[in-house]
Amino acid sequence: LLTPPVEPVLSGKRILITAGPTVEAIDPVRAITNFSTGKMGYAVAQAAQAMGAEVTLVSGPTALATPLGVKRINVTSAGEMLNAVMQHIEEQQVFIAVAAVADYRPTTPQLHKIKKQQQALMLTLEPCPDILAKVATLPKPPFCVGFAAESENVLEYAAQKRLAKQLPLIAANLVSIAMGGDDTQLTLIDDQGQHALAAGSKLASAHLLLQHIAAMLAENR
């Protein structure tokens, strides 16, 4: 992919990014997961690296290649993703949560395969930890950025999430445009309001997002 020359506006910054889905085991052969290719998170990692950042990518299962120069840590479940993030968070200046983390997981994954039967199967699910909310409420949190992929009321829900999770910045997009594809359109919401970015490739959108982050960091917002 050809990209224009990039200013190293993030040089010296350590950035931790989550990407991809998480997979929560029901039994040894079945799982609950989210639809996510990981493309947006990997684009953010690639763009941040190109802008001079030292990038760690905590990734759920994807079919994507690791962007050049990026340190990748593979995880499967939300619990593993939380552990990997917490292990590395202390030295980070920026945390960008792009992962589609499962919201619920089976309370007790079965050790052996559940045999199918004629009647309905009931599963008991418990909430997964909210990784972004946990990082954002650490005593000395890094600059935290959320993603909100919504199917309706995008900007309203995204603005609510930004406040609920105490984030300086959230990027909102519509799942019908973004899911699975190479293109997206992000609207950023920060302390000054909404900023609609140009529609384009996920990589181009990632560059615009990171430029906005660099500007906010420079202004200490």
With both helix axes pointing from N to C terminus, report the angle between 39-50 and 202-218 in degrees, rounded to the nearest 10.
50
Q: Return the ∠ at Cα 36 (arms to 55 and 111), rounded to 5°.
A: 100
**From 34, 74, 83, 153, the catalytic residue:** 34
**Number of CB atoms found within 10 A of residue 35's CB:** 10
Is 150 a binding residue for Ca ion by CB under 5 A? The answer is no
Q: Is 74 considered catalytic here? A: no
Is 130 a binding residue for ligand CTP by CB under 6 A? The answer is yes
CB-nearer residue toward ligand CTP: 18 or 187: 18
Q: Which residue is listed with tokens 């029901």?
A: 26
CB 73 within 8 A of CB 81: no
Instruction: Give every CB contact of residue 99 below 8 A, 6+ residues apart in sequence.
Output: 18, 19, 20, 21, 22, 36, 41, 58, 59, 60, 81, 131
CB-nearer residue toward Ca ion: 26 or 149: 149
**Which of the residues 87 through 146 are near Ca ion (CB under 5 A)?**
103
Per DSSP, the residues of 98-130 read --B--SEEESS--SSPPPP-SSPPP--EEEPP-
Which of Ca ion, ligand CTP, none does residue 78 bind (CB under 5 to 8 Å by kind)? Answer: ligand CTP
Which of ligand CTP, Ca ion, none does residue 147 bind (CB under 5 to 8 Å by kind)? Answer: ligand CTP
**Which of 26, 97, 136, 186 forms a contact with ligand CTP (CB under 6 A)?**
97
Is 148 a binding residue for ligand CTP by CB under 6 A? The answer is yes
The least distance separating Ca ion from the CB of residue 49, rounded to whole angstroms, comes to 27
CB-nearer residue toward Ca ion: 103 or 150: 103
What are the residues binding Ca ion (CB under 5 A)? 103
| Site for ligand CTP, rule CB under 6 A | 18, 78, 97, 99, 101, 103, 128-132, 146-149, 161
